[in-house]
């Protein structure tokens, strides 16, 4: 019987035509295997898992672990993550080219490191220390993020260091610091189970943090109401008591209006505000300018929806608000987050079981990755690099003079513009792929092409590494040990499951060896992650981000400890503000006024629609880790554009999405689960199908996060789809064919996240 091409998932026809056999005929026959307890390498939930290791010491499979984060559950990415470890695309030798006209070739470690050090010295001797920059990553273990910040400032002596968490969590971090004096979620996931009303804003939990969904379902099972604020009717929104499909870029207007209604109907907790908050009178005066009638027009929703959110959230005995990138990826991302904090504080829903405020970390170590020094304005322990006392403390630990410590640098996107202006002439990148992940691709490419020298550390050849002068092959997560902090700020321990392939080194070894060759080896005498973690514990002691009481042994015993944890007897701090005090010197919550302003990219007759971007369940970030794993490629082989049926397209039609930065052609996924004035494209693929070839590089003035979630666009019929490139491979390697079988499927994936998917007529 032929398969209906309008509903067949990608790869199904190929599988059927090849005579595939059902999966239930497979069985494991490994004997003498070892189960190594660890955590998933992907999102901020950090699910516990066991890696299956055979007698030869090689990872060959995965089992879910009954860790209290995930309770035996894994998502599609977690199930397939182990396939990275022994993947044929792994880089196993350094790559080098002496000229951009040459192809990359394999070389020895000595040749690669000698060339790298010589180029660093040449550039810095000619143009100053700040002419060489460094970019880290929020998927690195925390020990390695600590090393990135220390290496940049002590070995390179440059102010220019930042990381790809700049594209993720910094708006939430900025808001949390302003309001609470601390940068982390206020409550553990388990508190969701105790809540009577849960509000999710700009958080596609079902696809981006799938295992977190169990907490929402558990709350619903005991009668909690669920409110979802999102332009798309996501999988979780489809099950919500109330879905508010606001127009992208209008979040702060919406939440100001919700607070307006709460005040109007006498639902504020004035006793809590008087005892624990400052700035309330100013906030109250500001939101008077946002009656629901005005906000409904701005946000494209009904007045009744705004009022319902206010009554349900404020009227609940215990309510929680959680948000993610949909709120934060804006030129007013910090203000969006602050508007939600104002709502929580005004209703007294802070610091109690089932009542509080949380930000859902995107990358696996998005929380830990910004705590200990790889962010341009921070030092270990969340210290400010502009604070003289903080500088003195870190210099004493690092054994350098305060005058040797560089000042604050600039953000990741700002560094790209500095590359274009030749202010930054050399770059060391670790665990990032800006050619896919940064907005306005053509500007990014120009910046990297202007560099005189570029070295990249990675375990696969990414689109960014492919254009580097030196590529250094490093370990995957299962070949080293270290800690990560998940979205709850729970520090968890990852364990080494197998030795790295011959020719591969840990990121720690590479940075320490480069430091030695640059003359700073005495400051980097680390033999591995454990040594680094011991210094990190000391460097964080006494700070807001206190890790001193956390040890590897305690993490193994407990399954995770939430910081701050000042002593080895301290249990950790899973819930903040239980005593009503924040981390500001006065112990108060510092409420901030918020004024809504339109997105930076203006709408017009030529560009009347909103383009918004995001993730999908089968892929991850820039796709460098997931676009090589067969099951994930079959589930989501290519990007698509979600459009409302009112535009007249059918599923699979080639649709050109045009913005002021360029255009790309995607297959249409036609569904009623998106606003008619909005289109959505997932961003995991490279140019020419890159969503970030279209997005604007406008930044939030405080957090410097790009405005990924809204830019002006139009759509039009096209003749043919843009081709999806295969992931890059090293010299002498061909693209792994098993992962490429579905890339040419012309249809978009099925749409589990939406209702009323339009059928081909």
DSSP sequence for 440-453: SHHHHHHHHHH-SE
Distance CA 673, CA 755 (A): 6
| Domain 169-359 classification at class level | alpha beta
Distance CA 675, CA 677 (A): 5
Q: What would the 3-class secondary structure string for 55-83 be?
A: CCCCEEEEEECCCCCCCCCCCHHHHHHHH
Q: Contact, 697 vs 706, CB < 8 A? A: yes
Distance CA 230, CA 725 (A): 31
Distance CA 465, CA 455 (A): 8
Distance CA 411, CA 698 (A): 12
Cis preceding linkage at 104, omega within 30: no
Angle between helices 441-450 and 412-420 (to 10 degrees): 60
Distance CA 626, CA 543 (A): 37
Three-state DSSP at 132 gives strand
Q: Contact, 487 vs 462, CB < 8 A? A: no
What is the per-residue pLDDT across 601-623, written as a single tens digit (0 to 9) for each? 999 999 999 999 999 999 999 99
**Token pair for residue 648?**
């007249």
Q: What is the DSSP string of 152-181?
A: IIIIS--S-EEEGGGGTTHHHHHHHHHHHS
Put simply, whether the predicted model's pTM sits higher than 0.85 gets the answer yes
Q: What's the start-to-end Cα distance of the chain, in Å?
A: 20
What's the sign of the alpha-carbon dihedral 726, 729, 732, 734?
Answer: negative
**pLDDT at site 746:** 66
In the predicted model, residues of the chain with pLDDT beneath 70 are 1-30, 736-761
Distance CA 534, CA 143 (A): 9
| Domain 104-167+365-486+502-526 classification at class level | alpha beta
Intervals of CATH 2.20.25.90 along the chain = 32-84
**Token pair for residue 739?**
């992962």
**pLDDT at site 761:** 33
Distance CA 751, CA 169 (A): 27
| Domain 32-84 classification at class level | mainly beta
Distance CA 681, CA 639 (A): 7
Q: What is the DSSP string of 658-683?
A: EETTEEEEEEEEE-TTB-TTEEEEE-
Distance CA 342, CA 255 (A): 9
Q: How would you classify the pairing of strands 654-659 and 490-494?
A: unpaired
Sheet hosting strand 34-39, strand order edge to edge: 34-39, 48-53, 59-64
**pLDDT at site 635:** 86
> 609-759 adopts what CATH topology?
Barwin-like endoglucanases (2.40.40)
């Amino acid at each position: 019987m032929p398969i209906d091409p309008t509903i067949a998932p990608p790869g199904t026809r190929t599988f059927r035509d090849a005579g595939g056999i059902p999966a239930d005929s497979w069985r494991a026959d490994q004997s003498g295997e070892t189960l190594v307890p660890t955590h998933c390498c992907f999102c901020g939930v950090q699910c516990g898992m066991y890696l299956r290791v055979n007698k030869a010491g090689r990872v060959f499979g995965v089992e879910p672990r009954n860790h209290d984060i995930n309770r035996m559950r894994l998502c599609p990415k977690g199930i397939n993550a182990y396939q990275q470890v022994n993947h044929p695309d792994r880089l196993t030798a350094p790559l080098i080219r002496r000229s951009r006209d040459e192809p990359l070739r394999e070389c020895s470690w000595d040749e690669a490191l000698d060339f790298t050090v010589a180029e660093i010295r040449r550039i810095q001797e000619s143009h100053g220390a700040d002419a060489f920059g460094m970019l880290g990553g929020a998927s690195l273990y925390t020990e390695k993020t600590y090393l990135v910040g220390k290496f940049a400032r002590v070995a390179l002596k440059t102010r220019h260091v930042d990381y790809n968490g700049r594209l993720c969590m910094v708006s939430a971090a900025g808001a949390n610091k302003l309001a609470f004096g601390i940068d982390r979620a206020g409550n553990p996931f388990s508190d969701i189970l105790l809540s009577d009303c849960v509000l999710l804003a700009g958080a596609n939990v079902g696809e981006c943090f799938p295992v977190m969904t169990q907490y929402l379902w558990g709350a619903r099972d005991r009668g909690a109401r669920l409110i979802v604020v999102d332009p798309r009717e996501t999988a979780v929104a489809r099950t919500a008591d109330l879905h508010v499909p606001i127009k992208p870029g209008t979040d702060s207007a919406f939440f100001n209006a919700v607070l307006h209604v709460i005040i109007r109907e006498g639902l504020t907790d004035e006793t809590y505000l008087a005892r624990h908050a400052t700035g309330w009178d100013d906030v109250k005066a500001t939101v008077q300018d946002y009656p629901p009638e005005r906000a409904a027009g701005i946000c494209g929703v009904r007045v009744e929806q705004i009022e319902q959110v206010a009554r349900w959230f404020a009227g609940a005995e215990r309510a929680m608000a959680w948000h993610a990138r949909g709120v934060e990826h804006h030129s007013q991302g910090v203000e969006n987050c602050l508007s939600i904090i104002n709502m929580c504080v005004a209703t007294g829903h802070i610091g109690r079981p089932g009542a509080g405020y949380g930000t859902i970390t995107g990358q696996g170590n998005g929380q830990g990755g910004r705590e200990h020094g790889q962010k341009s304005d921070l030092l270990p322990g969340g210290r400010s690099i502009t604070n003289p006392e903080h500088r003195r403390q870190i210099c004493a630990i690092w054994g350098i003079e305060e005058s040797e410590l560089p000042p604050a640098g600039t953000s990741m996107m700002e560094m790209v513009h500095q590359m274009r202006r030749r202010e930054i002439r050399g770059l060391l990148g670790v665990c990032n792929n800006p050619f896919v992940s940064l907005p306005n691709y053509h500007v990014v490419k120009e910046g990297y092409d202007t560099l005189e020298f570029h070295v990249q550390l990675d375990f696969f050849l990414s689109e960014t590494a492919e254009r580097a002068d030196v590529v250094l092959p490093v370990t995957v997560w299962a070949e080293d040990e270290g800690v990560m902090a998940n979205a709850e700020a729970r520090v968890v321990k990852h364990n080494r499951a197998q030795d790295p392939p011959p020719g591969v080194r840990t990121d720690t070894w590479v940075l320490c060896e480069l430091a030695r060759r640059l003359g700073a080896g005495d400051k980097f005498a680390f033999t591995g992650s454990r040594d680094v973690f011991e210094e990190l514990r000391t460097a964080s002691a006494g700070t807001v981000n206190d890790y001193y009481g956390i040890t590897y042994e305690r993490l193994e015993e407990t399954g995770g400890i939430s910081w701050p944890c000042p002593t080895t007897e301290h249990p950790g701090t899973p819930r903040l503000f239980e005593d009503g005090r924040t981390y500001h010197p006065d112990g108060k919550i510092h409420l901030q006024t918020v004024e809504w302003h339109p997105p930076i990219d203006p709408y017009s007759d030529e560009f009347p629609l909103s383009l918004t971007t995001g993730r999908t369940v089968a892929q991850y970030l820039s796709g460098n880790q997931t676009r090589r794993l067969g099951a994930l490629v079959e589930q989501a082989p290519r990007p698509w554009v979600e459009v409302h049926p009112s535009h007249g397209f059918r599923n699979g039609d080639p649709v050109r999405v045009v913005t002021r930065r360029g255009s790309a052609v995607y297959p249409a996924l036609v569904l009623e689960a998106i606003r008619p004035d909005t289109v959505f494209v997932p961003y995991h693929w490279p140019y020419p199908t890159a969503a970030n070839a279209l997005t604007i590089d406008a930044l939030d003035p405080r957090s410097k996060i790009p405005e990924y979630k809204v830019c002006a666009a139009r759509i039009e019929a096209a003749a043919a789809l843009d081709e999806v490139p295969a992931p890059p491979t090293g010299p002498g390697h061909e693209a792994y064919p098993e992962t490429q079988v579905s890339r040419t499927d012309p249809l978009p994936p099925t749409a589990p996240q939406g209702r009323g998917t339009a059928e081909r007529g």
